[in-house]
């Protein structure tokens, strides 16, 4: 966790199509489809696989570690040539990696770390995401009482995000200029659980909360709902580029949504998985770096993409990229949002 994460910013079309596999079956195990972003990931991933003549087969674990293990066994039984796993739980998934290795099936850990050097790790720089959230919120509120709404404790990303946040505010916390008055993990990353966590933090502090660091946009929405119920509008940070969150940024109820262009992530996943299915070694993937920032310090081959913070000053980036329409982004926008003028 102490080692700096290397960034590998690569173009979405950075792989040679001639070198990729054709006619392979790629199995994808999703941890949960509750957030809108996973459907965007899936569309890009599926299109990339099919562009190479490969078959996409998938299963949704529905937020269940046990179901995910069963799902992966079923995918292996279908004769997949490679697996893409969006792990629901970092530890519970390990028997599936053993099973895949025994069958000679390469594994790509998608957006969530599976700390095993038999897997390839593809994600955004989540420590960097946490850093951006904290930097933007701190710029809006340099001191005072902070609340931190963390993700599911079984997801390593929650730890990476917190690491990045504390890199920014840690010294201020030690100096006493920022006080963390509430810090809560959120089961399943669910907005309704985040709202309850925020309500409890507000109650415990008689509403004396000045800023919120939320580890994703869905939970930021839950936090904003809890704040609004108390008549509060304070700086709130999140990530994922959810459409509702981008609109909250335009309305002034969320300070930043760190956008991870998952169309690129999904496309690259399809390309990497195709290369692995065709017999490519984990360390042969173009633009891969060595990553060892997990809890165990295991060195892995990885691609870590750079995210983009969306604030009221640059919402045009998401609009111009086709991620969201101007109408969706700007409904009810406050004055001064350049993209909505």
Together in a domain, 213 and 297: no
Together in a domain, 332 and 194: yes
Q: 39-42 long-range CB contacts below 8 Å, 24 or more apart?
A: 40/262, 40/263, 40/266, 41/110, 41/111, 41/262, 41/265, 41/266, 41/269, 42/266
Neighbours of 322 (CB within 10 A): 8
Together in a domain, 103 and 195: no
Question: What separation in angstroms does the CA of 41 have from each of 27, 238, 262, 311, 329?
Answer: 15, 19, 5, 23, 20
Together in a domain, 297 and 241: no
Answer for the pair 257, 245: CB distance below 8 angstroms, yes or no.
yes
Together in a domain, 242 and 155: yes
Dist. CA 152–CA 89, nearest whole Å? 9
Together in a domain, 61 and 114: yes
Q: Determine which of 20-29, 208-217, 228-237 has the lowest per-residue pLDDT on average.
A: 20-29
Rg (C-alpha) for the chain, rounded Å, is 20
Dist. CA 266–CA 12, nearest whole Å? 9
Tell me the percentage of the chain whose pLDDT exceeds 90. Answer: 89
Neighbours of 2 (CB within 10 A): 6
Together in a domain, 210 and 320: yes
Dist. CA 235–CA 255, nearest whole Å? 5
Residue 8: inside a domain, yes or no? no
Give the residue-averaged pLDDT of 48-75. Answer: 97
Together in a domain, 243 and 325: yes
Dist. CA 189–CA 86, nearest whole Å? 14
Together in a domain, 71 and 176: no
Give the residue-averaged pLDDT of 247-264. Answer: 96
Residue 106: inside a domain, yes or no? yes
Residue 10: inside a domain, yes or no? no
Residue 4: inside a domain, yes or no? no
Q: What is the CATH number of the domain that holds 206?
A: 3.40.50.2300
Helix (H) or strand (E) holding 55: strand 55-60
Q: Which pLDDT value is given to residue 37?
A: 81
* Structural domain of 282: 17-124+261-306
**Dihedral-angle region of residue 180 (phi above 0 means left; psi in -120 to 50 means alpha; beta otherwise):** beta
Sequence-separated (6 or more) residues with CB below 8 Å from residue 298? 115, 116, 117, 292
Residue 6: inside a domain, yes or no? no
Q: Which pLDDT value is given to residue 20?
A: 42
Residue 100: inside a domain, yes or no? yes
Domain count, the chain: 2
Q: Which pLDDT value is given to residue 15?
A: 42
Average pLDDT, the chain: 92
Report the chain's terminal Cα–Cα distance, integer Å: 43
pTM higher than the cut 0.85: no
Q: Is the pLDDT of residue 10 over 90?
A: no
Q: What is the pLDDT of residues 150-167, one digit of tens each?
A: 999 989 999 999 999 999
Residue 301: inside a domain, yes or no? yes
Together in a domain, 243 and 226: yes
Dist. CA 307–CA 181, nearest whole Å? 28
Together in a domain, 223 and 332: yes
Q: Which pLDDT value is given to residue 34?
A: 78
Residue 3: inside a domain, yes or no? no
Together in a domain, 92 and 147: no
């Amino acid at each position: 966790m102490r080692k700096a994460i290397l960034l590998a910013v690569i173009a979405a079309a950075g792989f040679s199509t001639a070198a990729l596999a054709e006619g392979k079956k790629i199995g994808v195990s999703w941890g949960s489809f509750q957030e809108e972003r996973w459907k965007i990931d899936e569309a890009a991933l599926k299109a990339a696989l099919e562009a190479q003549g490969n078959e996409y087969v998938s299963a949704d674990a529905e937020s269940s570690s046990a179901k995910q293990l069963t799902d992966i066994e079923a995918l292996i039984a279908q004769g997949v040539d490679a697996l893409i796993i969006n792990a629901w739980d970092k530890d519970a998934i390990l028997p599936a990696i053993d099973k895949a290795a025994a069958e000679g099936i390469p594994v790509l850990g998608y957006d969530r770390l599976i700390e095993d050097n038999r897997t390839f790790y593809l994600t955004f720089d989540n420590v960097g995401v946490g850093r951006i959230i904290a930097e933007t919120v701190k710029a809006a509120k340099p001191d005072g009482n902070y609340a931190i709404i963390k993700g599911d404790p079984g997801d390593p990303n929650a730890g990476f995000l917190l690491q990045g946040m504390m890199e920014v505010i840690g010294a201020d916390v030690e100096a006493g200029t920022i006080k963390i008055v509430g810090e809560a993990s959120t089961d399943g990353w669910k907005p309704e659980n985040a709202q309850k966590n925020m309500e409890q933090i507000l109650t415990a502090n008689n509403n004396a909360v000045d800023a919120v660091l939320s580890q994703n946009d869905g939970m930021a929405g839950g936090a904003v709902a809890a704040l609004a119920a108390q008549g509060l509008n304070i700086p709130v940070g999140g990530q994922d580029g959810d459409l509702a969150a981008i609109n909250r940024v335009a309305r002034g109820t969320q300070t930043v949504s760190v956008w991870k262009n998952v169309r690129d992530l999904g496309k690259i996943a399809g390309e990497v998985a195709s290369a692995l299915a065709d017999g490519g070694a984990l360390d042969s993937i173009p633009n891969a770096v060595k990553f060892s920032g997990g809890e165990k310090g295991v060195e892995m081959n990885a691609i870590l993409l750079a995210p983009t913070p969306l604030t009221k000053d640059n919402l045009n980036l998401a609009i111009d990229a086709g991620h969201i329409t101007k109408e969706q982004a700007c409904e009810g926008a406050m004055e001064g949002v350049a993209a909505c003028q």
